[in-house]
Structure 1
Amino acid sequence: MHQPVDSSFRSSVSRSWASAGSDGGRRRVLIVAAILVAAAVAAWLVFGGGAETPAENPEAGRPSITVIVPGTTQVADSVRAVGSIAARRDMPVGVQGEGGAVTAVLVDAGDYAQKGQVLARIDRSVLEQQVSQLQASVIRARADAALAQSELDRAQSLVARGFISKADIERRTATRDGANAAVNVAAAQLREAQARLGRLDIRAPEAGLILERNVEPGQVVSSGSPAVFRMAQNGAMEMRALVAEQDLAGIEVGQSATVQLIGSATEYAGRVWMVEPVINPQTRQGLVRIALSGDRSLRPGGFASGRIEVGTADRPLLPESAVMGDAESSYVYVVAEDGTVERRDVKVGTVSSAGVAISGGLSGKEQVVMSAGAFLNPGEKVSPVLHKPQK
């Protein structure tokens, strides 16, 4: 390609030197030679001075991101729910009798009471006097009955001698029977007064944990007053879990569950003991009651989350680093065929040492970003690198 230019250049220079006979002619020849050299260099640059520019790589500059295609794995399936801690059997304790001024409160919230234990006492002075009076009435009635019986016995011994008529015997017999009846009436009145006196003591209906104390000495209470104590029967607690309507079908009595208090890392084992038959028409949620042991750290009213084991299912299983969360939901990043990063909201199932089971939002065929999700944004272009598990 360059030979024609070089030959022409040499021929022109030779002719110029041959024809030049003076210094002026030599200068003209040098000028012409310089012009021809410049033309040769320009021609070389235009026609053969550089290689062809390669086509631009569309993936150049994209970050390489490790992805995983999880497929599906058989894992223990579970239903997650939130709710509150409550006494399994919440017992309000009130005043059974006539009431009056409280003279003593013998327990406090947090104490454990036995069945029949006195929790508080109400002023007994008036009823104690009535009981004493009725006890005296019973003694008098028994004395009258004994006297009537003695008189009847003497009269019956004189009937055969003719000193006492049959009518007198009948009258004395009636007197004896009336006296015995008076004894029974006085005894019944005494027992009633004693019962009313005993009901002035506020007692625990069952053994359990005192949850609330709503009475103080000097306070006047009656049968119409609000409950003065609240107890948890046997100290047993439960979680009242709110479960979405579509998840209730898989929950049955007897299934195991794990409950965790908000702000605590401790997990409590439980078991479903009741699935209430009514669904809230506004929230479309049902109530599942999970029985828990009577641990003192389980306080009624506390907020908790629960996981109910409902069997096994085939679920995508991801490493914990792939699953992220915000105030709205849990999510992962997936990479589309063209390398575009997409956010995908997911529903998290069982979490174990093997990974996080995804119960909704993924089929298992997607390319899921393993660990760099915190540095990515939806719509960003990346170069996915498939993770190869170690054998």
Structure 2
Amino acid sequence: MKRWQGIAAAAVVVVVVAVGGWRAMGARQAQQAAQAQLATQKAQPLVELAATDVVRAETRELRRGLPVSGSIKAVNSAFVKARVPGELLELVLREGDPVKAGQVVARIERTEGQARLNQAQQQADAAKAQIDIAERQFNNNKALVDQGFISKSALDTSQNNLAAARATHQAALAAVDLARKGVEDTVLRAPITGVVAQRLAQPGERVAIDGRILEIVDLSSLEMEATLSAADSVELRVGQDATLQVEGSARPVAARVARINPSAQAGSRSVLAYLSIADTTGLRQGLFAQGTVRLGQSSALAVPLSAVRTDKPSPYVQLVEDGKVVHRAVQAGERGDADKEKWVAVQGIAPGAVVILGHVGALREGTLVKFTGGPSPQPSPASGRGSKSPSP
């Protein structure tokens, strides 16, 4: 009896030792598994993203536009030029002074012109006197021919002399008109209403014919002269609206395509287009402007242009799926503006996909993602990946 009790006690001890060893082995295995999992997590890369680092792919109204730039010019401008040579007098206008069409802006010393007019007038008077003499000669010869005292040829000669005298008088009168116009041209008048842009001569200077005195510009009508490539000019049409940003001005300026040059520039093959500016308040000739001509709009699934990466043979975007970075090849379509940012239509991703923006940089596929400042964005129902959550 005692022998069996000893055996039973020994068996119990063996069982207890075996259970304890099994439990210790399980705990050791669990600890090893936890350590291995922790090591794996430490070895796998992890990137933290903010809500501003991602955006959802969604249908957008893309406004297509053509970038343009150029200088602002006055539609109407003119140079006041000297039509006769002489000393410049009475020029008091300076840059910025307003003028009206027909206003006297300067004079040229008229002594020479007046002397030429007097000379021409005296020559005309002399020619008129020759006509009187020729007329009397003709009348006398006609009476003598009628009485038979002189031949018919003498009358013809006097008639020709009268015709020559009249022609000489007409030429002298034309010379008088020409000299008078020269005197009138000593008064310089503004050809248009506007503002003096340049004063190109000074009082007392002797100016030559066609010498520039003043430049006048009409600031009530301004336009931008834009230079376009041959490819860009194909889509441009007269009447298309544009929005410009003028150098030194914070306000946007509305404009419209007014004219397109039918000929390309020699050498560069560029095409000039002219955009009329609606509100010219505060604008000046010569300022630089740039903006966009609106070509139309379309609706498509789109992502920001900066999110489409091209460091692989095919364009792709970086998505966040199941807490990891996934690369998806896409086909880029039309580009346009949305929310004051460049977006591009894409094919190859589902609506609502969480797209990593371009400023984050290239991330390795499979990289774990952790969102800071809140829960990670979840795909919308349109993507078939779960319930809808607010866009980041």
When normalised by structure 1's length, the TM-score is: 0.64
| 1:224-257 alpha-carbon deviations (Å, 9 max, x no partner) | 75x4444447853222224455433321222122
Contact 1:84 1:304 in 2 (8 A): yes
The sequence identity of aligned pairs, in percent, is 21
Runs of 5+ in structure 2 lacking a partner? 1-8, 308-316, 371-375, 380-387
Seen in structure 2, the aligned counterparts of structure 1 residues 259 and 316 have a Cα distance that, compared at 3 Å, is farther
CA distance in structure 1 between the partners assigned to 2:233 and 2:167 by the alignment: 65
Contact 1:86 1:300 in 2 (8 A): yes
Which residue does 1:268 correspond to in 2?
A: 253
Question: Which amino acid in 2 is paired with 1:101?
Answer: E
Contact 1:85 1:303 in 2 (8 A): yes
* Coordinate RMSD, CA, aligned: 4.9
Contact 2:141 2:150 in 1 (8 A): no
Please say which structure displays the higher CA radius of gyration. Answer: 1
| 1:189-238 alpha-carbon deviations (Å, 9 max, x no partner) | 1112122333444455555554322112122221375x444444785322
Are positions 1:367 and 2:330 aligned together? Answer: no
CA distance in structure 1 between the partners assigned to 2:203 and 2:279 by the alignment: 30
Which residue does 2:295 correspond to in 1?
A: 310
Which residue does 1:73 correspond to in 2?
A: 60
Per the TM alignment, residue 127 of structure 1 is displaced from its structure 2 partner at its CA by 1.1
SS of residue in 2 equivalent to 1:63: strand
Are positions 1:133 and 2:125 aligned together? Answer: no
Seen in structure 2, the aligned counterparts of structure 1 residues 179 and 230 have a Cα distance that, compared at 3 Å, is same
Seen in structure 2, the aligned counterparts of structure 1 residues 111 and 64 have a Cα distance that, compared at 3 Å, is same
Please, which of 334, 337, 348 is the counterpart of residue 350 of structure 1? 337
CA distance in structure 2 between the partners assigned to 1:215 and 1:369 by the alignment: 63
Which residue does 1:385 correspond to in 2?
A: 377
Please, which of 309, 314, 325 is the counterpart of residue 339 of structure 1? 325
CA distance in structure 2 between the partners assigned to 1:158 and 1:92 by the alignment: 62
Seen in structure 2, the aligned counterparts of structure 1 residues 364 and 117 have a Cα distance that, compared at 3 Å, is farther
Which residue does 2:95 correspond to in 1?
A: 109
Which residue does 2:238 correspond to in 1?
A: 253
CA distance in structure 1 between the partners assigned to 2:218 and 2:98 by the alignment: 10
Runs of 5+ in structure 1 lacking a partner? 1-6, 12-38, 325-332
SS of residue in 2 equivalent to 1:385: coil
CA distance in structure 1 between the partners assigned to 2:125 and 2:214 by the alignment: 40
When normalised by structure 2's length, the TM-score is: 0.64
Question: Which amino acid in 2 is paired with 1:310?
Answer: L
Contact 1:315 1:358 in 2 (8 A): no
Which residue does 2:382 correspond to in 1?
A: none
Map 1:193-212 → 2, pairs under 5 A: 193-204=179-190, 210-212=196-198
Q: Give the count of matched residue pairs.
A: 338
Per the TM alignment, residue 307 of structure 1 is displaced from its structure 2 partner at its CA by 1.0
